[in-house]
C-alpha cells in the first residue's frame, strides 16, 4: 500500500457497521482522526534535496492532504466526526479543497500552540511553540483546543539542530502526553458508549 494512503485512523462503532449509501462495503465511522503524514510532511533539510526529489515530496504531500480532505467530507456526510491536524502556517489550509471544507457551517478551525500541552526538546526540556490547527465538525474540538495559545510564561527554542542524538524537528513531530490525554478526552465525548474497533485507512 502506498505510504500516503495511510492518513489516519477510523474509530468505528461495531453497532453501526451499516451500509453508507451506495458504498455498502464501507463502515459507518464515528470518528476520523488524521494527523496528516507522509514523505511530503517529513521535516527535511531542503538544502540537501535536489529539485526533482523536492518536487516528488511536494506532490506526495498534496496527494495525502487531498485524500484526508476527501475522507473528512465522506465522514461528515454520513454523520461521523473528523479531526484534521496540520501546522497552523501550512499552505495546505489555503487550497480550494481545504476552503470548501472549512466553509461548511458545521466545520470549525481551532488554533493552539503545542507548548501549552508540554511539547519540549528531548534532553533540555526547553519549550517548543509549534503553532497547530485542528479542523473538525465537532463543537468539542474547539472547546478543548481553541484558544490554547502560549501564555508567555516561558521562552521557546527553535526546532533546529540536534539534541539527544536526534533532530529537534523529528522529536517535535511526536505528540506530547498532555495532548494525547486531551485527544482521548475529545474522542470520549463524541464516540458512542459501545464497543469500537480501529480500522487503518
Evaluate whether 57 touches 48 at the Cβ level (below 8 Å).
no
Percent helix / strand / coil, the chain, rounded to 5: 40, 20, 40
pLDDT (tens digit per residue) in 4-51: 333 345 444 433 344 344 443 444 455 666 665 444 444 445 455 567
Q: Where are the domains of the chain?
A: 3-114+133-150+187-200
For residue 83, give the H/E element and its range: strand 81-87
Lowest mean pLDDT among 48-52, 92-96, 105-109, 160-164: 48-52
Distance CA 104, CA 151 (A): 31
Evaluate whether 122 touches 95 at the Cβ level (below 8 Å).
no
Q: What is the mean pLDDT of the chain?
A: 77
pLDDT (tens digit per residue) in 122-165: 999 999 999 999 999 999 999 999 989 999 999 999 988 899 99
Q: Which of 38, 40, 42, 41 is nearest to 7 (CA)?
A: 38
Which residues lie across from 10 on neighbouring strands?
32, 199
Residue that is written with C-alpha cell 523529528 in the block: 170
pTM comes to 0.75
Amino acid at each position: 500500500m502506498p505510504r500516503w494512503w495511510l492518513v489516519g485512523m477510523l474509530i468505528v462503532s461495531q453497532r453501526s457497521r451499516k451500509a453508507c449509501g451506495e458504498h455498502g462495503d464501507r463502515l459507518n465511522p464515528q470518528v476520523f482522526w488524521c494527523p496528516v503524514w507522509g514523505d511530503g510532511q517529513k521535516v527535511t533539510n531542503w538544502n540537501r534535496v535536489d529539485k526533482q526529489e523536492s518536487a516528488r515530496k511536494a506532490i506526495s504531500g498534496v496527494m495525502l492532504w487531498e485524500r484526508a480532505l476527501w475522507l473528512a467530507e465522506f465522514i461528515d456526510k454520513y454523520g461521523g466526526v473528523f479531526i484534521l491536524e496540520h501546522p497552523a502556517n501550512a499552505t495546505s489550509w489555503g487550497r480550494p479543497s481545504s476552503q470548501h471544507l472549512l466553509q461548511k457551517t458545521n466545520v470549525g478551525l481551532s488554533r493552539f500552540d503545542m507548548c501549552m500541552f508540554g511539547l519540549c526538546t528531548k534532553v533540555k526540556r526547553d519549550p517548543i511553540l509549534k503553532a497547530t490547527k485542528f479542523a473538525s465538525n465537532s463543537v468539542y474540538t474547539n472547546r478543548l483546543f481553541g484558544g490554547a495559545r502560549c501564555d508567555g510564561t516561558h521562552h521557546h527554542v527553535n526546532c533546529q539542530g540536534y539534541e539527544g542524538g536526534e533532530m529537534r524537528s523529528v522529536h517535535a513531530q511526536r505528540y506530547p502526553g498532555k495532548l494525547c490525554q486531551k485527544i482521548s478526552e475529545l474522542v470520549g465525548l463524541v464516540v458512542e458508549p459501545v464497543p469500537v474497533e480501529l480500522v487503518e485507512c
